[in-house]
Amino acid sequence: MKLISSVVRFSKFDEVKQALHSVRVDSLNVTERLDHAPQKHETTVWLGREYSLGFARKMQIDIVVHDDQVDEVVGAIIKAARTGHPGDGHVLVVPLEHRYNIRNGDRDVA
């Protein structure tokens, strides 16, 4: 099993979610986060002056999949999230030893 953790632009989240659904991934954990990277960040206006917030709004998506699903899921995320500009995000694939279902104690069910 693998944990796929991706960080994508906030504006691309719906497209990524739809792409994941199309490859039969319906269970995911999503966290809104602020990302600090060298690309241009969101700005706000306060008292007539524009200020850089220093952070970009992103969505983190965590998915547990079986090993044979990794390439298809990662490909779907990358295709849906890519704009071709800096700040598109990233995808991490991490080995996962076990996953337990709290309700019934089932083990290794993705």
Q: Considering its fold, how many domains does the chain have in total?
A: 1
54, 99 Cβ separation under 8 angstroms: no
Task: Please report whether residue 44 resides in a domain.
Answer: yes
22, 82 Cβ separation under 8 angstroms: no
User: Which residues does 25 contact at the CB level (< 8 Å), separation at least 6?
Assistant: 63, 65, 69, 73, 76
The per-residue pLDDT for 47 is: 81
Range with lowest mean pLDDT among 6-20, 28-42, 65-79, 95-109 = 28-42
Task: Please report whether residue 107 resides in a domain.
Answer: no
Q: How confident is the model at residue 38 (pLDDT cuts 50, 70, 90)?
A: low
How many whole angstroms separate alpha carbon 72 and alpha carbon 63? Answer: 13
- In the predicted model, is pLDDT for residue 80 greater than 90? yes
Task: Please report whether residue 105 resides in a domain.
Answer: no
> Which has the higher per-residue pLDDT, 43 or 61?
61
Domain boundaries, position 72 = 2-95
pTM of the model: 0.83
Mean pLDDT in residue range 92-101: 94
Mean pLDDT in residue range 45-70: 86
Q: How confident is the model at residue 35 (pLDDT cuts 50, 70, 90)?
A: confident
CATH at residue 71? 3.30.70.120
